Structure 1
Amino acid sequence: MHQQEAGHVIKGIIFDKDGTLFDFNATWGAWTRGMLEAETGGDPVLFARLADVLGYDVAAARFRAESMVIASTAAELAAMIQSVLPELETGALLTRMNAAAAAVPQVEAVPLQDYFLRLRAKGLRLGIATNDAEAPARAHLDRAGVTRHFDFIAGYDSGHGGKPAAGQLHAFCAKTGLPPGGCVMVGDSTHDLHAGRAAGMRTIGVLTGPAPHAELASLADVVLPDIGEIPAWLESENLLAS
């Protein structure tokens, strides 16, 4: 059994964002090609090199399962880009990336407004722990109309660090007053699940990101097709307060 405290029902759920609330490749696959073209100025050699570094399959317009982008912070992504385009200044690149990311239309994994209303009706406290920056993360949640449902929202730049470290998850517990054993971390990458286990939470993997079931299974209490399956699983495991 993972490090969660035995006997606790689940009273809090903390979610990753990209690949969890929003389908990763459906959201970022097509957009990334335009970003690569813009940053490389249309140079085909640089374009190909940058796509390779980012683990982006140009023909399929999607990220490969092993892509480091999937769980990276914006700063880590900027460093990958600068490995091909070292002349880019870090601050300007991050500003450009965050502004562009905030504007990207997000493809919801399930209809989010109804979903979070149902979770709130069960008395659950909710949080977001993303390796995106906080500002674009809030823009995505605002656009989906779900920001009000969250007790806690943290990006990698919110002062708690990024995943796979557990700082964001510890901060969620501090904010809500919940013990880690009464919480579950939900995500589509091993970074999410490592963070959940490090925090002493139950962990749920979802398949709306590029990572396959086999990659997530050893770190998760369960791997589900998408977040929509979580309430039924919690009920089946008698993990919700009656």
Structure 2
Amino acid sequence: MISAILFDKDGTLFDFQLSWSAWAKAFLRDVADGNDLRAAHLGNLLGFDWQAARFREDSCVIAGTDDDIISILIPEMPGVSRDEIKLRIGLAAAEAPMSEVVPLAPFLDGLKARGLRVGVATNDTESTARAHLEAVKVLDRFDFVTGADSGHGAKPGPGMCLAFAAAFEVPPGEVLMVGDSLHDLHAGRAAGMRTLAVLTGVAGADALSPNADFVLPSIAALPDLLGPDNRLKPTGHLS
């Protein structure tokens, strides 16, 4: 039986390419002082194709933290401190237009009506996560929101997942971790949770399925995976 569901944010609740390509364009143009050629160079280092406005599967932005991004950019930005880059990342991220994979309010209301606890665990900062959820008017639907700076570590470590389970005294085996990246799936499995991969990020089913109990096109199909008693059905199991 599933008692609680923990969601990754970007690529899971929000379409990754649609949402974060706009952030990448704004942020890279900012740190490149408006020089598009330099912005394209910096984007390539982060796994972002400036011309196509799309992230590659190996991009550190997909599942990494702000510190991962900063570590790549700092050698390219002499005289600029880590704190300044972090501030610029945060300012651009707060303005990124989040594209919901499904209308999240009714989707989450449906899960809550089943008696399920729901949470978000992201390698983004907690403040940015809360801002994005509030922007689409669903922050109040979540029982738990944690980011890489919340004190539980970052994914693929299990800290966020274990903190969610502990907060509601739910056995990890009764929690479903839902994400679009290997970091999400590894975190869930390390915590002893069931794992569901969705394909609204950048990684494909071939990469995700060996580490997932289930693979679905998006969270839209998640309610159909749950029986009346919140037991997981066998449909959607691709690994």
Q: Of residues 13, 38, 44 in structure 2, which corresponds to 1:21? A: 13
SS, match of residue 66 in structure 1: coil
Query: Which residue pairs with 1:189 in the alignment?
Result: 181
**Which AA in structure 2 matches 1:112?**
L
Identity value in percent: 48
Q: Which residue in 2 is equivalent to 1:144? A: 136
AA partner of residue 120 (structure 1): K
Secondary structure at the counterpart of residue 211 of structure 2: coil
For residues 47 and 119 of structure 1, the distance between their equivalents in structure 2, rounded to whole angstroms, comes to 41
Task: Confirm or deny that 1:110 pairs with 2:76.
Answer: no
User: Structure 1: which 5+ runs fail to align?
Assistant: 1-8
Q: Secondary structure at the match of 1:235?
A: coil
Say which of 53, 63, 71 aligns to 2:55.
63
Contact kept? 1:151, 1:176, Cα under 8 Å: no
Deviates more, 1:159-168 or 1:66-75: 66-75
Letter in 1 for 2:85: L
SS at match of 1:13: strand
Preserved CA contact (<8 Å) 2:60 2:68:
no
SS at structure 2 position matched to 1:98:
helix
Match of 2:89 in 1: 97
Worse-matched range after superposition: 86-95 or 60-69: 86-95
Q: Output the TM-score relative to the length of structure 2.
A: 0.92
**Which one-letter code corresponds to 2:68 in the other structure?**
E
Residue 123 of structure 2 is aligned with which of 131, 142, 147?
131
Tell me how far 1:95 sits from its aligned partner: 1.8
Q: 1:186 & 1:235 partners in 2: Cα distance?
A: 17
SS at match of 1:131: coil
Report the counterpart of residue 149 of structure 2 in structure 1: 157
Q: Is there any run of 5+ residues in structure 2 with no aligned partner, and where?
A: 233-239
Instruction: Check whether the contact 2:179–2:196 (CA below 8 A) recurs between aligned residues.
Output: yes
Cα distance in 1 for residues equivalent to 2:194 and 2:56: 27
| 1:176 aligned residue (168, 181, 202) | 168
TM-score by length of 1: 0.91
Task: Return closer, same or farther for 1:233/1:86 CA change in 2, 3 Å cut-off.
Answer: farther
Distance (whole Å) between structure 1 residues aligned to residue 159 and residue 98 of structure 2: 26
- Alpha carbons of structure 1 residues 119 and 217: separation in structure 2 relative to 1, 3 Å: same
- Over 3 Å counting, the alpha-carbon distance change for 1:147 and 1:238 in structure 2 is closer
Partner residue in 2 for 1:47: 39
CA shift digits 1:10-68 (9 cap, x unpaired): 00000000110000000111331232121011345532321111111112111011212
Query: Is 12-21 or 59-68 further displaced after alignment?
Result: 59-68
Tell me: CA distance 1:86–1:188, structure 2 relative to 1, closer, same or farther (3 Å): farther
For 2:96 and 2:22, the matched residues in 1 are separated by 10
CA offsets 1:204-232 (integer angstroms, 9 cap, x no match): 00111111111101000111111111111
Q: Which structure carries more relative contact order (alpha carbon 8 Å, separation 6+)? A: 1
2:208 aligned to 210, 216, 220, which one? 216
| Contact 2:94–2:132 under 8 Å retained in 1 | yes
Aligned to 2:235: none
